[in-house]
Amino acid sequence: MKLDILTPKGEITRHQEQDAVAIWNQHYPSIQYAETPKDEPIAWDAHMVKDGVVRGVAEMKCREMTVGTFFGKFKGEWLITMDKVMDCIAHASQLEVPFVGFLYLVPSKTLLMQTIWRPTSDGIVVPYRAEMTETQATVNGGKANRINAYLDMRQATIMRGRD
């Protein structure tokens, strides 16, 4: 089975992710966004590494919408599958590091960063709701009915690229 990121549409997303990581690097040059292999079915996209030590687990999504649309029409809620959230939390829990979500709004060239989960008794630290909804299955299309999390990104750190 070919992974979605390795298809032509997936390649577009891959380039968008690289643009988002470049914005991250401009704002946080001392924390490396160390990607997981794109040719393996790994549930998280990267580890956040500082001074050679893993300090966080990261998931990156790219959306073809502006900041205005995201915070207006979508009320600042990031739709991501609940399975993805729970898989990332499980991995972060094993490492005892936070799980951080990155949402790149492509037309606005804006990266949102939100801590979603922290180890210890904090647990999930971002308001969210979970609902069974029909959404696009993958970057390549299709439909899927599944439990999706709608994460509140209104308190996210907002980063824009510098020229």
- Locate the domains of the chain by residue range: 4-160
Residue of 10, 3, 117, 139 whose CA lies nearest to 58: 117
User: How confident is the model at residue 139, as a pLDDT?
Assistant: 66
Mean pLDDT of 156-162: 91
What residue ranges in the chain does DSSP mark as E strands?
A: 32-35, 46-50, 53-63, 77-81, 99-105, 110-118, 123-124, 128-138, 141-152, 157-160
pLDDT above 70 (res 51): yes
Residue of 103, 106, 102 whose CA lies nearest to 64: 106
Report residue 137's pLDDT band, with 50, 70 and 90 as the boundaries.
low
Domain 4-160, architecture per CATH: 3-Layer(aba) Sandwich (3.40)
User: Would the pTM of this model clear 0.75, i.e. be above it?
Assistant: yes
* pLDDT tens string 8-32: 787 898 999 999 999 999 999 999 9
Structural contact between residues 67 and 24, judged by C-beta atoms closer than 8 angstroms = no
User: How confident is the model at residue 5, as a pLDDT?
Assistant: 63
